[in-house]
Structure 1
Amino acid sequence: MDFAPRTAIVTGSDSGIGRATAVELARAGMDVGITWHSDRDGAEHTADQVREAGRKAYVRQLDTSDVPGCGAAIEALIQDLGGVDVFVNNAGAGDGRSFLELDPDTWKQTMDINLNGAFVCIQAAARHMVDAGRGGRIIAVTSVHETQPKVHASAYVAAKHGLGGLIKTIALELAEFGITANSVAPGAISTPMSGREGDDPEPDVNPGIPLGRSGRAVEIAAVVNFLASPAAAYVTGASWPVDGGMLQMGPMGCAHLSSNEWRENGKN
């Protein structure tokens, strides 16, 4: 099936990886639906950059913790765009709670934001792709913690594991419709979520990462753009780490830890 994407939705695209992805897809020739949770000005800034790339941009608020209602924002953006060829599930958040201190309400909220709301949004987009009969691309921005644990993040890690499993499963179910589904798993990326401001902040030096630095949002966006493109027609059900080699450092990292600080510091 020939696939020529013209429209895309990127959730959580008011800053960071989401913004970089929206702009990258616009430069690839797509009109883009943009969502924001609490930073409308950030979303409008993303929309301005999409329009500067010569494409149309539409902005809607999306709260993925409102599981029954969050699909409405996706439906509205699909109507704005006149369809959806590429859906990028990027919205997400952590909670920073240790397992023993984690209460059921926080657990549920973290799961809703990162997994349950994502399910509703992805399903809404997939149904439109099937009805349109033109194929499609579904891409979830997960995390290296889609496959590896992190202290003080049990709910977040469980949700990202679940999202990775969802993507692999729908890759099987949607293949007959010409729809691929993949995940992109960022490592340490310099974005506002990690305390770095600006569209393309300078990466941090990090000797624990083989490439020696944190990543840039545009480096994640480039991989998403490939998976959204016709060139990725035979790629589905895969998880793509974009982490500077971080996931390969397990035994090496353990061998060079000199204290128990990691047990208390959930940021590492």
Structure 2
Amino acid sequence: MAAPLPEAIQTAVVTGGARGFGATVCRALHKDGFRIIVTDVDPGREASALASELDLAGKTCMTATLDIADAQNWKYVLDECTERYGSVEVLVNNAACTEAQPVLDIDPAKFNEIMAVNAGGTFAGCQIFGRHFRDRGYGRIVNLASLAGQNGGTATGAHYAASKGAILTLTKVFARDLAPFGVTCNAIAPGPMDTPMVHAVLGDDLDKALANIPTGNLGDPEFVAEMVAMLCTTRSAFVTGACWDVNGGLYMR
């Protein structure tokens, strides 16, 4: 099963791509020559503005509405992408939600909701796009995990931490099953990055959080986005089932 030639234009779907770190990933991939599908549960003006920024003519970038917790939504987006560009080669599972709460205060319904969106959405995306990649004999999946899924999370909530731990396991499962078909599946587990989401979660505790990070600073979203782009290239064929840690020394192994 032949992989696309390195010079071929590949199409990448990025979930939660309209703002924050997702938008940074979209910019990094587009800079490296990928066509970009900016998806979000509510794309709105931010997604349209990003698409125009990347390609005002709209030839190498489009937006799509995607509720990652709805498997049928995933199918619609895949069909829309293949109808326009012929195929999709890359999926970046970035979208996630959380609500920081002490573990003893989390309502079970809220726990299940966060798990359904974060872990369930990643599962649905890997499964539906994984079938497409398998049938084509090529594909790249990058899942955004988190330090919280490795150390239990202290500021993000038990539901978020559990969902990110599940994503790490799902990455291994899909990596193993899809490897014979030229498809890789990797995870990146950032620590706290300099993003709006992290600032919103930490709030007044930012200085305290920085004091606990060995390197003394938040992560650079652009650097992490470049890691995503690297794992999406044809050159990354021998890397699969791996978790790439970027956490300022908060979790060493």
The interval holding the TM-score normalised by the smaller chain is 0.7 to 0.9
Residues in 1 aligned to 2:74 and 2:125: alpha-carbon distance in whole angstroms: 7
Number of paired residues? 242
Compared with structure 1, are the counterparts of its residues 52 and 21 closer, same or farther at alpha carbon in structure 2 (3 Å cutoff)? farther
Residues in 2 aligned to 1:43 and 1:104: alpha-carbon distance in whole angstroms: 33
Give CA deviations for 1:27-63 in whole Å, capped at 9, x if unaligned: 1111111112235112112212321699611111112
Compared with structure 1, are the counterparts of its residues 11 and 179 closer, same or farther at alpha carbon in structure 2 (3 Å cutoff)? same
SS at match of 1:123: helix
Q: Contact (CA 8 Å) 2:16, 2:96: kept in 1 or not?
A: yes
Structure 1 residue aligned with 2:222: 218
Which piece of structure 1 moves more, 77-86 or 108-117? 77-86
Root-mean-square deviation (Å)? 2.4
Compared with structure 1, are the counterparts of its residues 164 and 53 closer, same or farther at alpha carbon in structure 2 (3 Å cutoff)? farther
Q: Which runs of 5+ in 2 are unaligned?
A: 201-205
1:244 is the counterpart of 2:248: yes
Q: Contact (CA 8 Å) 2:51, 2:58: kept in 1 or not?
A: no
SS at match of 1:44: helix
Which piece of structure 1 moves more, 218-227 or 98-107? 98-107
1:193 is the counterpart of 2:197: yes
1:97 is the counterpart of 2:123: no
Q: Contact (CA 8 Å) 1:110, 1:155: kept in 2 or not?
A: yes
Q: Describe how 1:64-143 pairs up with structure 2 within 5 A.
A: 64-133=68-137, 135-143=138-146
Compared with structure 1, are the counterparts of its residues 39 and 166 closer, same or farther at alpha carbon in structure 2 (3 Å cutoff)? same
Which piece of structure 1 moves more, 212-221 or 39-48? 39-48
Residues in 2 aligned to 1:243 and 1:68: alpha-carbon distance in whole angstroms: 34
1:61 is the counterpart of 2:65: yes
Give CA deviations for 1:118-173 in whole Å, capped at 9, x if unaligned: 2112211111112222x110100111122110246111111111111011111110
Compared with structure 1, are the counterparts of its residues 74 and 190 closer, same or farther at alpha carbon in structure 2 (3 Å cutoff)? farther
Give CA deviations for 1:181-236 in whole Å, capped at 9, x if unaligned: 0001111111121237xxxxxx9892432322101221110100111112211100
1:231 is the counterpart of 2:222: no
Structure 2 residue aligned with 1:37: 41
Residues in 1 aligned to 2:74 and 2:17: alpha-carbon distance in whole angstroms: 15
**TM-score, normalised via structure 2 length:** 0.87
Residues in 1 aligned to 2:75 and 2:119: alpha-carbon distance in whole angstroms: 13
CA-CA distance at 1:73 after TM superposition? 3.0
Structure 1 residue aligned with 2:147: 144
Amino acid corresponding to residue 145 of structure 2 in structure 1: T
Which piece of structure 1 moves more, 163-172 or 116-125? 116-125
Residues in 2 aligned to 1:101 and 1:2: alpha-carbon distance in whole angstroms: 49
Residues in 2 aligned to 1:210 and 1:167: alpha-carbon distance in whole angstroms: 28
Q: Contact (CA 8 Å) 1:33, 1:81: kept in 2 or not?
A: no
Q: 2:174 aligns with which of 159, 170, 176?
A: 170
Q: Which runs of 5+ in 1 are unaligned?
A: 197-202, 250-268
Residues in 1 aligned to 2:174 and 2:81: alpha-carbon distance in whole angstroms: 22
